[in-house]
A and B are shown apart, each in its own frame.
Chain A
Amino acid sequence: MAVVEVKNLTKTYGSRPDRGGRGRAAGSVRAIDGIDLATEEGEYLVLLGPSGCGKTTLLRTVAGLETPTSGDVLIDGHVVTGLPPRARQVAMVFQSYALYPHKSVYGNIVFPLRASRMSRPDRDRRAHWAAGLLEIEHLMARKPRQLSGGERQRVALARALVREPHVFLLDEPLSNLDAKLRATARDELKRFQAEIGTTTIYVTHDQVEAMGLGDRIAVLSHGRVRQVGPPVEVYDHPADTFVATFIGSPPMNLVPRDGVLVGFRPEHLLPAAASEPDALPVRLAVDRVEYLSGDRHVYGTALGVGEQTRVVARLPATVTSPVTAGDEQEFAVSRDRLRFFAASSGARMDRVPL
């Protein structure tokens, strides 16, 4: 178990000579742009962001597969910036799982132990312990191509955990699984990490995974951390409009009004009849209603809050007031659910009276 910390980390591509001559003329790309971030002991930290936001680069820098342009990586208080991956005591599960195709499952799992020159009986014991933990002992003799996606993922996990690393780095390990398997695998990943208690950094672009797995979520965009916090905080108190619209499905509604963006979650925009009496009234010109697993998603234009803006309301199954497409209806948002952002910068600001 260990604490991972990155200090003022930047990574620029394209301007370094080791990247070859091509593409230099196109200018350099800043994949990581000054990130300060630290995990806590045994924490499950999720890096969440859209593709190209630098989350995988950050993970690879922690693993030692990328050298940062500037800044430091600390594991357990030691600076490991210049050290190769094997000196860092980290284990990584790749998106592709990167199982060695010519080795059996057993051969894959013991590979890190052989690299650390562990004796054969010890290796054997540890490999069976890891395989037992992930319930793949019956697959030991198989080759990776004889395994299903879920089994491969378990083998990759077993290989990662077998030498009890200080840190787990997981790079979108669920993205190659089908939807049903993904849900169970997510649950298992969480239980499993809780059991062994190793500090884990988990990269994903899927907010459901992030919300479900993370002790804390770091939302990244364009190589910067936009917000770090527990899922509830990131969801309820987004630091800026990027976080507000990236997390949540459908995303937070933002209505411009006098240089301020008034934000509210779709589930807080309810028919006036179902709202508190002092809630902020919103007239909604309803375009369309969707029924999605019990909820009703109501698409329409908000009138009277600020500028006319398209918004979405999510009515839970418990709200039964009739909503018809084509009508203008009275909706309302509870005032303590309103969030405010500066229209110019997108940053969160204090509430303004409406």
Chain B
Amino acid sequence: MTTATTGQPATVGRPPTTMDNAAPRQRLADRDSALAWIFLMPSVVYIVALVAVPFVLAIGFALSDVTAGDPSFDWVGTRNFRRAFDDPVFWRSLGNTFVFTAVSMVLIVVLGKVLANILMAKVRGKWVIRFLVLLPWTTPVSLSAIAWLWMLDSIFSPIDWLLREMGLLGSPGALFGPNSNMYWLGEPDLAMASVIAVHVWRLTPLAAVIMMAGLVAIPRDLDEAARVDGAGYWRRMFEITVPLVLPLAAVAALFGAIFTFTDMAVVDVLTNGGPNNATQTLTSWAFFRGIDGGDIGQGAAVALFLFPLLLAAAVAILRAVRRMEVR
């Protein structure tokens, strides 16, 4: 009996393999192809319902004139796309998305690596450090973004207060200027930097944990061999450790890129795309046009733009990982 499906009592006084003279029969649990389908079904249903259907709907909406006020479906061809391309805010959002993603990704990977090293360090109270480091990732994004909203407040920002106390702000000739406040979310460049900073703060722990898995997987022998071979800390770091965690760093980068590309919570809570669309990204722009503005066709067209970009990024990174592994 190879299955655990029934609780048949074993026949006493007879070897259990004789199976009461019944012809040997394949049970459901023996048939891998059937089992595979049964186990895969929930996730297939999930993906079809929550990914495939909305995706097809989005394509449909993008080619229609559906709005919140008039849900009737009328074919309009590429009009939504042409209107998006004619809109300077769309191009601005696209550019912002790239800046936002690229800068965040680089920072997330670099800081993630540093943080992973900190997590690996053998010190007392390691669990406290790990707990604190992982906190930003475990906090709901809207909550932490609201906390940051206060941190970056135009008047009551504690960061500004700290800078003022240190004499770096608010006095003539100070490093950050004579104004009493930085207006983090009010100045276009600062607003972008703030959004990126909050986003990086949020995603770095995830990258750190991914890269920690990579660091742990490096045999200790290699580091020791490099030490005996006379390599110092930085040489070991850049010639041994970094190349060996590169595949996982790429995975972390992919996660970072996808989360950044598709994220609008931070932007929405902190700046609402402002000031003057300086932090508008494709996702937030699609949301404003499609949901807030009610022009669902237009919103879907903008949102669809994410698809080829994300696909290209994912393919590029996964291919890079593959090449590194085959090496």
CB within 8 Å of B: which residues of A?
Answer: 17-21, 63-65, 84-86, 90-92, 94-96, 98, 100-102, 111-112, 114-116, 143, 159, 163, 169
Query: B258 an interface residue at 8 Å Cβ cutoff?
Result: no
Interface SS, B side: helix
| Contact B229–A64 (Cβ < 8 Å) | no
From A86, A95, A102, A163, give the contact of B327 (CB < 8 A): A102
Q: How far is the CA of A112 from the CA of B231 in the complex (A)?
A: 7
Cβ-neighbour of A85 out of B126, B221, B228 (below 8 A): B228
Closest to B244 in A: A102
A143 to B243 Cα, complex, angstroms: 14
A114 to B239, CA, bound (A): 11
**Closest beta carbon of chain B to A60's beta carbon, Å:** 8
A85 to B235, CA, bound (A): 14
Instruction: Please name all residues of chain B whose beta carbon is closer than 8 Å to the beta carbon of A90 when the two chains form the complex.
Output: 228
List 10 extra interface pairs beyond A91-B228, A92-B224, CB under 8 A. A65-B227, A84-B227, A86-B227, A86-B231, A86-B232, A94-B221, A98-B221, A100-B226, A102-B243, A169-B228
Partner of A20, one of B122, B222, B244: B122
Kindly report which residue of chain A lies nearest to residue B235, judged by CB atoms: A115
- A-chain residues with CB within 8 Å of residue B240 when the two chains form the complex: 100
Sorted from nearest, which 10 A-B pairs have the closest CB atoms?
A: A98-B221, A98-B225, A86-B230, A115-B230, A112-B229, A115-B231, A92-B228, A85-B228, A102-B243, A85-B227
Which residue of chain A lies nearest to B218 when distances are taken between CB atoms in the complex?
Answer: A101
Which residues in B have their C-beta under 8 angstroms from that of A19? 122
Binding site for A on B (CB under 8 A): 122, 124, 126, 219, 221-222, 224-232, 235, 239-240, 243-244, 327
A64/B228 contact (C-beta < 8 A), A111-B239, A143-B327 known: yes
CB distance from A334 to the nearest CB of B (A): 48
Q: How far is B230's CA from A114's CA once the two chains are assembled, in angstroms?
A: 9
With A20-B122, A20-B126: A65-B224 Cβ-Cβ less than 8 Å: yes
B124 touches A111 (CB 8 A): no
Chain B min CB distance to A123 (Å):
13
Q: B244 touching A101 by the CB < 8 A rule?
A: yes
CA distance A64 to B239 in the complex (A): 21
CB-based nearest B residue for A156: B225
Q: In the complex the two chains form, what is the Cα distance from A19 to B124 in whole Å?
A: 9
* CB pair A100 B228 closer than 8 Å: no
User: CB-nearest residue of chain B relative to A65?
Assistant: B224
A-B contact pairs, 6 of them (CB 8 A): A84-B227, A85-B224, A85-B230, A86-B230, A94-B224, A111-B229
B225 touches A94 (CB 8 A): yes
Residue of B126, B219, B229, B240 ringed by the most chain A CB atoms within 10 A: B229
Contacts of B229 in A (CB 8 A): 86, 91, 111-112, 115, 159
Look across to chain B and name the residue whose beta carbon is closest to the beta carbon of A162: B229
Please, how many angstroms separate the alpha-carbon atoms of A114 and B126 in the complex? 35
- Alpha-carbon separation in the docked complex, A64 to B240 (Å): 19
Contact of B124 among A21, A64, A98 (CB under 8 A): A21
Cβ distance B315 to chain A, nearest Cβ, rounded Å: 23
- Report the minimal beta-carbon distance from B69 to chain A, rounded to whole angstroms: 59
Q: Which residues of B contact A112 (CB under 8 A)?
A: 229-231
Report A-chain residues with C-beta under 8 Å of the C-beta of B226: 100, 111, 115
Residue of B nearest to A95 (CB): B221
**Inter-chain contacts of B219 with A (CB < 8 A):** 96, 98
How far does the alpha carbon of A20 sit from the alpha carbon of B232 in the complex, in Å?
24
**Which residue of B222, B225, B243, B244 contacts A92 across the interface (Cβ within 8 Å)?**
B225
Q: How many Å from the CB of B327 to the closest CB on chain A?
A: 7
